Amino acid sequence: MVLKIFFPRCCNMADSGLLIGHWLPGQDSAVVLAVVHYPFIPGQVKRYLSQLQNESRVELAVLGSWSMPKEGQEGMESFLRDLSTIFPRGRWLQLSREMGKRGFTCQVVHRDGELPRGEGENCKGDNGDGGGVIFIHYDQRKSQPLFLTDKYDDGPLKLTHWQSEGREASIIVELAKQASVPLCLLLTWLLSLWTWLCSSRLLNLPPVRLVSSKLSTCVQLSYRTEHLQTVSSPKRALGHAEFMRKANIFVSFFVDVALGLLLISWLYRENRISRLANTLVPVADRVAKELQELLQWLMGAPAGFKMNRALDEVLGRFFLYHIHLWISYIHLMSPFIESLLWYMGLCACLGLTFALSVLSDIVALLTFHIYCFYVYGARLYCLKIYGLSSLWRLFRGKKWNVLRQRVDSCSYDLDQLFIGTLLFTILLFLLPTTALYYLVFTLLRLVVVLFQGLIHLSVDFINSFPLFAMGLRLCRPYRLAEGVKFRVLCEEPGKPLHLLMEINPLQYGSVLQWYRTPTYNCYPKDSWAALCKKLFVGELVYPWRQKGTKTD
């Protein structure tokens, strides 16, 4: 088996000394963590190691010796060999560098009197004859056991290992950590109060629940509550995924609130709110007027279509009356709209997402008449389509067999046939009128849904975008590793193979995919084909779709 030695790159040019690390049991490989330099007292090294071992619970050992030739330090070989008797282990590695060469040589000395595996100064057999050595150079990042007591070489021993770029800010971090515990507790208490308030009986009455599940502000509120509960739980994050989730939520929450405050600072200056309110009512009025004109157009001969005059007039008058009701409602509301907007704008200090949700709700409420028209049109159209499809079966002398889920032939009575055909004729000739109304109102509704969908998408984007993970990937790519790759560093005959182990950072796409905070899915669940089919048969598409649809 080939002996694999993991060697930190930072120790490449270290002074001679002892190699500290640990053997990976059962894998025939050693991980070098640091180099202890001369001069040292062997007893101190042993004590230091045992202390580290106690603190970190990682089995540490002296792996061997490291020699870096320098002027005036000849004749170390015998000294290094002698060292192996001081630190008794199964195997003793003797690594040495030569001046002016890239690779270094290795000699493995077995304790139990066997011959050294490496022959002479060279380690042969890196082509797999059973006793080869492969050096794998790696980037040392935060080696946990040594960093627990990071004392900047002020101890009795001089070590070479990876040094962090500085921990000056660590005091602030520590203070923040200390302060976060009571803050978290306070937040948890407030949140529990809030959830208790939400779960009170008055707010759980069916109509209230129905309305609140349709208002995107309420949905956003419940998600934020859930997020804050996750973040403020005083328990330590157990795994990497949980930690990343917490951090992502935390960062995106802060960004959200910051954006919201920006919005507020823009909105509440220069009397913008009242200007907005003053334009809102005319806009709603204008929309209603346009709708009225559209209905008048439909009641004539729209686009050359000749519709059934009687039905056309009935439908047109019905919808016109509806718009009339709507306009009076808007005018009744208009004195309060400004103050209403003023208070609603305060929502933005909870975050930009709240402001967007409120906007979506306002749009939904202001276009409620379009929604109503759509529902009426769709219901009427759906009735016609279903009636026509079943009467068409009757027309051909067939019927739908519910038990076998197929069309069977059936002999009808004379009166059934007569009435069925009469109704079929009537429905068929009235279909274009209904279909045109349905088409127009569906298009209007789709425009509104599209707008709301865009708002929901942006809210969902802010909610779920893993900002922290992205930042980590940008600044510390090695923290999010997808795997490792090896590169041949130096391959010379008669010398061990040197490989460089590099960390493969995660792709940005995968970062997004893995660390996306799961949110409520605001995307339509139907495929495009299913949506088109629904539109064609006149089922309601969004929202207020029946959840438990009756099948069969």
Partner 1 sequence: MFRRDWTGRNPVSKCIIGSLVMGADSDPGAPSAVPWRKVLYERQPFPDNYVDRRFLEELRRNVGVRRYRYWPVVREAGLVTQQLSCVAAFLTLWWYMYQGQLYPFTLLLAGLLCALLGYGLYEALGGPRTEGRTRLADLQSAAIFLAFTFGFSPVLKTLTESVSTDTVYAMSALMLLAHLVTFPYAQPSPPGSLSLNAALFGSVCLASRLPGALHTFAMVTCALLVFALWPCLLHRLRDRAPRGFPWAAALVSLGGIGGLASQSPGGAVLLALAQLALTLLCPLLLLWLQEHKDNIHGPWDEAEIHEDLSRFLQ
Closest to partner 1 by CB, 310 vs 447, is 310
Q: Where does this chain touch partner 1 (CB under 8 A) — which range of 266-274, 389-397, 481-489, 534-542?
A: 389-397
Is the Cβ–Cβ distance between 212 and 199 less than 8 Å? no
Closest to partner 1 by CB, 238 vs 414, is 414
The Cα 144–Cα 56 span in angstroms is 8
Closest to partner 1 by CB, 335 vs 397, is 397
The contact pattern for partner 1, residues 79-118, with x = CB under 8 A and - = no contact, is: ----------------------------------------
* Strands 104-110 vs 91-97: parallel, antiparallel or unpaired: antiparallel
Gyration radius of the chain over CA positions: 38
Least Cβ distance, residue 269 to partner 1 (angstroms)? 58
The H or E element containing residue 217 is helix 216-232
The Cα 321–Cα 328 span in angstroms is 11
Other Cβ atoms closer than 10 A to 346: 14
Q: How many residues bind partner 1 (CB under 8 A)?
A: 25
Closest to partner 1 by CB, 255 vs 417, is 417
- Six token digits for residue 155: 């101890």
Is omega for the bond preceding 543 within 30 degrees of 0, making it cis? yes
Least Cβ distance, residue 413 to partner 1 (angstroms)? 8
298 near partner 1 (CB under 8 A): no
The Cα 419–Cα 544 span in angstroms is 35
Closest to partner 1 by CB, 298 vs 444, is 298
Closest to partner 1 by CB, 187 vs 431, is 431
Is the Cβ–Cβ distance between 44 and 20 less than 8 Å? no
Other Cβ atoms closer than 10 A to 369: 21
310 near partner 1 (CB under 8 A): yes
**Partner residues linked to 439 by β-bridges:** none
Considering only residues 428 to 457 of the shown chain, the ones binding partner 1 according to CB under 8 A are: 429-430
Closest to partner 1 by CB, 86 vs 439, is 439
Closest to partner 1 by CB, 415 vs 552, is 415
Is the Cβ–Cβ distance between 33 and 146 less than 8 Å? yes
Closest to partner 1 by CB, 215 vs 417, is 417
> Which of 24, 241, 422, 474 is close enough to bind partner 1 by CB under 8 A?
422
Q: How far is CA 394 from CA 246, 414, 420, in A?
A: 62, 12, 7
Q: Where does this chain touch partner 1 (CB under 8 A) — which range of 206-214, 303-311, 354-362, 467-475?
A: 303-311
* Strands 159-160 vs 497-505: parallel, antiparallel or unpaired: unpaired
3-class secondary-structure state, position 44: helix
Is the Cβ–Cβ distance between 135 and 5 less than 8 Å? yes
Other Cβ atoms closer than 10 A to 313: 12
Least Cβ distance, residue 442 to partner 1 (angstroms)? 23
> Which of 229, 230, 308, 519 is close enough to bind partner 1 by CB under 8 A?
308
Least Cβ distance, residue 428 to partner 1 (angstroms)? 9
Least Cβ distance, residue 412 to partner 1 (angstroms)? 6
- Helix locations, 233-367, DSSP H: 240-267, 272-299, 309-345, 352-366
3-class secondary-structure state, position 108: strand
Q: Where does this chain touch partner 1 (CB under 8 A) — which range of 217-225, 379-387, 423-431, 479-487?
A: 423-431
Closest to partner 1 by CB, 213 vs 416, is 416
> Which of 46, 111, 306, 317 is close enough to bind partner 1 by CB under 8 A?
306
The contact pattern for partner 1, residues 391-420, with x = CB under 8 A and - = no contact, is: ---xxxx-------------xxxxx-xxxx
The Cα 77–Cα 464 span in angstroms is 61
425 near partner 1 (CB under 8 A): yes
Which residues here bind partner 1, judged by CB under 8 A? 306-310, 394-397, 411-415, 417-422, 424-426, 429-430
